[in-house]
């Protein structure tokens, strides 16, 4: 059942010496890195399929059996693992769709090489909460960064005593202040009612038009497959944005503007990351931007947000870094019918073997 896949990741000795690793297996959370240094094993599991993406066992079969048993135990408890270091990517970030399968895995798009970025968020603070450091680094490297906010975000305003116009003015002012810190070149809004239901096709076509107009090489949005996500603004924004990425290059799509095909998508708020950006050098900007968001956080909430984000990003920092932002980088071709050959083993019923 557990077949090795992917690259020979255990040859990277720098990783073995750089990544902290617990002495014993424990219950892992999504996004945790699992590197068993003493057994010279690297194990990478994908949470969606509850199976390893790579298992390297160069020396000890006994230990391998042990690791498999422990992995199966973890999977039985529906606990997921993933490994997120850029240089260890073995995931299906760029797997080709069946129709264009070549047997080769294209190189992962270098997120920080993007020149034009469209970051599509359900609410006014999602881009900065999920990827403020990454977006700041992109802007500092000269990328043209556009934020597209899908909802009016009025439901989340904590002061029930102000009218919608006043609340909207505060939200916009805060967003502009944060954007100036991050380096956002332009803000756009679609003004759907916050938590009021999003029509998939209408929203998708609105986003398609923005993609054609802004012509990003990198589109960033939230993960519509995030397990336990109950907020439909996030689920629907993710689906609409990712389908818009697929459709925006089709000349017969009626959205205004010339067809355009983004090079890559970066999916944030994901339990299935395959890349991490070193954001150690932009922590001041990253947290200063968050500090702007007062309409929806009181002082206690804002402190808790800073603390949670700091803890989160320290946990997933790459080697030699203090902070990292993880995301899932995908070739748009992997967003449609991207089926990989399955190792079926003995868990399937075979028909037609008698010919």
Of 10 and 220, which CB lies nearer to Zn ion in the complex structure?
A: 220
CB of 126 to Zn ion, least distance (A): 4
Residue 157's CB is within 10 A of a number of other CB atoms, namely: 18
CB of 123 to Zn ion, least distance (A): 3
* Separation of alpha carbons 336 and 246, rounded Å: 8
CB of 121 to Zn ion, least distance (A): 7
* Separation of alpha carbons 109 and 112, rounded Å: 9
Instruction: Give the strands of the sheet with 35-36, arranged side by side.
Output: 35-36, 41-46, 51-56
Total residues binding Zn ion (CB under 5 A): 3
Of 36 and 123, which CB lies nearer to Zn ion in the complex structure?
A: 123
| Maximum CA extent, the chain | 76
Of 95 and 229, which CB lies nearer to Zn ion in the complex structure?
A: 229
Of 92 and 127, which CB lies nearer to Zn ion in the complex structure?
A: 127
CB of 233 to Zn ion, least distance (A): 6
DSSP structure string for 173-205: HHHHHHHHHHT--EEEEEEEPTTS---HHHHHH
Of 90 and 290, which CB lies nearer to Zn ion in the complex structure?
A: 290
CB of 299 to Zn ion, least distance (A): 20
| CA pseudo-torsion sign 61, 67, 70, 72 | negative
Q: Please choose, from the candidates 125, 274, 143, the residue with its C-alpha nearest in 3D space to the C-alpha of residue 216.
A: 143
* Separation of alpha carbons 167 and 338, rounded Å: 43
By CB under 5 A, what part of segment 112-151 binds Zn ion? 122-123, 126
- Residue 212 lies near Zn ion (rule: CB under 5 A): no
Q: Buried b vs exposed e over 275-300: b needs ≥16 C-beta within 10 Å? A: bbbbbbebbebbbbbbebbbbbbeee
Strand 275-278 and strand 324-330: pairing? antiparallel
- What residue is closest to Zn ion based on CB? 123
Of 123 and 323, which CB lies nearer to Zn ion in the complex structure?
A: 123
CB of 175 to Zn ion, least distance (A): 13
Of 268 and 334, which CB lies nearer to Zn ion in the complex structure?
A: 268
CB of 247 to Zn ion, least distance (A): 24
Give the interface with Zn ion as residue ranges (CB under 5 A). Answer: 122-123, 126
């Amino acid at each position: 059942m557990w077949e090795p896949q992917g690259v020979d990741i255990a040859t990277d000795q720098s990783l073995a010496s750089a990544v902290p690793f617990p002495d014993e297996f424990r219950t892992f959370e999504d996004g945790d890195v699992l590197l068993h240094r003493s057994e010279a094993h690297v194990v990478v599991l994908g949470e969606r399929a509850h199976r390893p993406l790579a298992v390297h066992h160069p020396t000890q079969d006994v230990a391998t059996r042990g690791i498999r048993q422990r992995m199966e135990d973890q999977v039985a408890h529906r606990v997921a693992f993933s490994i997120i270091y850029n240089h260890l990517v073995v995931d299906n970030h760029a797997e080709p769709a069946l129709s264009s399968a070549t047997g080769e895995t294209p190189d992962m798009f270098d997120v920080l090489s993007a020149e034009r970025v469209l970051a599509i968020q359900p609410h006014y603070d999602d881009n900065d909460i999920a990827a403020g450091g990454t977006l700041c680094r992109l802007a500092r490297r000269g990328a043209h960064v556009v934020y597209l906010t899908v909802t009016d975000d009025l439901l989340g305003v904590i002061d029930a005593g102000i009218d919608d116009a006043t609340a909207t003015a505060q939200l916009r002012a805060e967003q502009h202040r944060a954007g100036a810190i991050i380096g956002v070149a332009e803000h756009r809004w679609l003004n759907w009612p916050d938590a009021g239901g999003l029509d998939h096709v209408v929203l998708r076509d609105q986003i398609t038009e923005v993609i054609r107009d802004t012509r990003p090489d990198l589109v960033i949005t939230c993960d519509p497959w995030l397990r336990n996500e109950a907020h439909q603004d996030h689920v629907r924004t993710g689906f609409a944005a990712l389908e818009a990425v697929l459709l925006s290059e089709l000349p017969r799509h009626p959205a205004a503007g010339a067809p355009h095909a983004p090079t890559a998508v970066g999916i944030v708020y994901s339990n299935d990351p395959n890349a991490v950006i070193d954001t150690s050098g932009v922590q001041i900007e990253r947290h200063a931007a968050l500090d702007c968001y007062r309409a929806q956080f009181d002082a206690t909430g804002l402190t808790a947000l800073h603390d949670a984000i700091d803890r989160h990003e320290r946990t997933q920092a790459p080697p030699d870094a203090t902070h990292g932002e993880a995301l899932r980088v995908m070739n748009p071709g992997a967003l449609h019918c991207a089926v990989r050959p399955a190792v079926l083993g003995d868990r399937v019923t075979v028909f037609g073997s008698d010919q």
